[in-house]
């Protein structure tokens, strides 16, 4: 079973990589293999190390070097018993007991995989609650469904100050300290540890010093149009940076959207990407998805800018398609401005949440208000009706005059 899953994942990744390569070639794109270094404006070199470097020039240069797994100090990764997500994708073995350091997207997704394959999982989270990056209400529901019924326990408010791989007949050793006081807590002994503490930009050795650019915590500084900024705050002509390397939103589809935006600009068409309209998804069973602001973020913004925030919710238990598939556990949550119908955020936990989120994402991108989208028609019976009910349940008051009359939509 493990080998079948691993083979499927590896074959799929290889197929996608080959398809992308062939697609680039069919479009007439030359692929030069090697390590690239910026030499100056519109100029760089590349090489493989075993041959002489070659220098090339270009009208425009786009940095898209991506990221690598972030490994905190004190953690020794051996690629076998202490691993990152890169190693975990190969699924070379299924440990009886695995500790996952970090409970964000990566940690949650792999906990789903390992528990399905029979492993016991222990989360180690530095913050006081699991899934800190999610909307709190969605996070609590997800914990009740994805974590509590499964063979998963957790430590919150602690750091893994030191992790030693299994060796000499000893298991993996994890030394825990209090995240606030830094006092020692206890030492865990497990079969394996997955480091899921996020990703770090892969920007070392790019030669940015040659154009007077300094990274910020490893990220290449850019403006809203992805144009690279030097240490004096000036734009570097014809140089852009997209994706994880700029740190704006570390998601593959965000990098793609940024790339399209840059190409538009190179083609002479001004374009600014609205990052709040870019959705995110966590591929657990069931899935989690989100776009825009969480409720705490929206309320903070409302307090600063002087507007009210309202919430609407709908359950998957009221959806015919979800019930037909025996997947009624789920919730969709809308965060919005009741005074003008602006959609501030949408969060979904439930069957195919990753697919459902795009109606909300597109609405935010296009500036569509609730009073317009609530009249959209959805096929029955489909999961899309979850969003239909969500938007219809929102109450928007359009103020006709500064003082008196208002109309509820």
Catalytic residue among 8, 275, 285, 380: 380
| CATH top-level class of 290-408 | alpha beta
Q: Is it true that the peptide bond before 188 is cis, omega within 30 degrees of 0?
A: no
Summary mean pLDDT of the chain? 94
Q: What average pLDDT does the segment 342-368 reach? A: 98
> How far is Cα 329 from Cα 47, in angstroms, rounded to an integer?
53
Q: Does the structure show a pLDDT above 80 at 176?
A: yes
Q: Where are the domains of the chain?
A: 32-65+202-273, 82-197, 290-408
Q: Does the structure show a pLDDT above 70 at 90?
A: yes
Q: Does the structure show a pLDDT above 70 at 301?
A: yes
> How far is Cα 297 from Cα 135, in angstroms, rounded to an integer?
9
Chain Cα centroid distance, residue 203 = 19
Q: What average pLDDT does the segment 191-198 reach? A: 97
pLDDT tens by residue, 60-69: 999 999 999 9
> How far is Cα 183 from Cα 350, in angstroms, rounded to an integer?
39
pLDDT tens by residue, 3-36: 888 888 889 989 999 999 999 999 999 999 899 9
Q: Does the structure show a pLDDT above 70 at 403?
A: no
Q: Kindly give, in sequence order, each residue whose CB lies less than 8 Å from that of residue 73, ignoring residues fewer than 6 positions away.
A: none
Contact assessment for residue 123 and residue 100, using Cβ atoms and an 8 Å cutoff: yes
Per-residue pLDDT, 311 = 98
pLDDT tens by residue, 98-120: 999 999 999 999 999 999 999 99
Please, which residues bridge with residue 100 across strands? 123, 194
Per-residue pLDDT, 6 = 84
> What confidence category does residue 91 fall into, taking pLDDT thresholds of 50, 70 and 90?
confident
Per-residue pLDDT, 376 = 96
Does the annotation count 380 as an active-site position?
A: yes
What token pair was written down for 42? 């519109």
Q: What is the DSSP letter of 147?
A: I
Per-residue pLDDT, 408 = 59
Q: What average pLDDT does the segment 182-191 reach? A: 97
Please, which residues bridge with residue 334 across strands? 312, 346
The superfamily in CATH containing domain 32-65+202-273 is FAD/NAD(P)-binding domain (3.50.50.60)
**Percent above pLDDT 90 for the chain:** 90
Per-residue pLDDT, 52 = 83
Q: Does the structure show a pLDDT above 70 at 395?
A: yes
Q: Does domain 82-197 have CATH number 3.50.50.60?
A: yes
**Percent above pLDDT 70 for the chain:** 97
pLDDT tens by residue, 358-394: 999 999 999 999 999 999 999 999 999 999 999 999 9
pLDDT tens by residue, 218-232: 999 999 999 999 999
One fold for 32-65+202-273 and 82-197: yes
Q: What average pLDDT does the segment 58-78 reach? A: 97
Per-residue pLDDT, 404 = 42
> How far is Cα 62 from Cα 239, in angstroms, rounded to an integer?
6
Q: Does the structure show a pLDDT above 80 at 40?
A: yes
Q: Kindly give, in sequence order, each residue whose CB lies less than 8 Å from that of residue 285, ignoring residues fewer than 6 positions away.
A: 112, 116, 146
Q: Does the structure show a pLDDT above 60 at 401?
A: no
Per-residue pLDDT, 399 = 53
pLDDT tens by residue, 265-289: 999 999 999 999 999 999 999 999 9
């Amino acid at each position: 079973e493990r080998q079948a899953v691993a083979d499927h994942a590896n074959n799929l990744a290889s197929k996608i990589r080959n398809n992308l390569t062939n697609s680039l070639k069919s479009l007439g794109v030359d692929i030069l293999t090697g390590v690239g270094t910026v030499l100056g404006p519109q100029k760089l070199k590349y090489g493989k190390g075993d041959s002489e470097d070659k220098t090339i020039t270009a009208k425009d240069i786009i940095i898209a070097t991506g990221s690598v797994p972030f490994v905190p100090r004190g953690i020794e990764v051996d690629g076998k018993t202490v691993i990152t997500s890169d190693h975990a994708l190969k699924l070379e073995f299924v440990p009886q007991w695995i500790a996952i350091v970090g409970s964000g997207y990566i940690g949650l997704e792999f906990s789903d995989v390992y528990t399905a394959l029979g492993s016991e999982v222990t989360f180690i989270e530095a913050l006081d609650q699991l899934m800190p990056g999610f909307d709190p209400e969605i996070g609590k529901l997800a914990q009740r469904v994805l974590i509590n019924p499964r063979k998963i326990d957790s430590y919150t408010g602690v750091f893994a100050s030191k992790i030693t791989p299994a060796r000499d007949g000893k298991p993996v050793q994890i030394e825990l300290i209090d995240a606030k006081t830094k006092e020692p807590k206890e030492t865990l002994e497990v079969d394996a540890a997955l480091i899921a503490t996020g990703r770090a930009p892969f920007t070392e050795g790019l030669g940015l010093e040659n154009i007077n650019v300094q990274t910020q915590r490893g990220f290449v500084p850019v403006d809203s149009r992805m144009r690279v900024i030097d240490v004096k705050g000036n734009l570097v002509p014809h140089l852009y940076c997209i994706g994880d390397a700029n740190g704006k939103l570390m998601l593959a589809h965000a990098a793609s959207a940024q790339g399209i935006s840059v190409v538009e600009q190179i083609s002479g068409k001004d374009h600014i990407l609205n990052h709040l309209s870019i959705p995110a998804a966590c591929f657990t069973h069931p899935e989690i998805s989100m776009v825009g602001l969480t409720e705490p973020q929206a309320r903070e913004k409302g307090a600063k800018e002087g507007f009210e925030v309202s919430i609407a919710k709908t359950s998957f238990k009221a959806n015919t398609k979800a019930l037909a598939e025996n997947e009624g556990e789920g919730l969709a949550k809308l965060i919005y401005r009741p005074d003008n119908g602006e959609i501030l955020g949408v969060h979904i936990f439930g069957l195919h949440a990753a697919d459902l989120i795009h109606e909300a994402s597109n609405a935010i991108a296009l500036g569509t208000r609730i009073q317009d989208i609530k009249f959209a028609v959805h096929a029955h019976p489909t999961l899309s009706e979850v969003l239909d009910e969500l938007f219809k349940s929102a109450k928007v008051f359009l103020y006709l005059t500064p003082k008196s009359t208002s109309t509820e939509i």
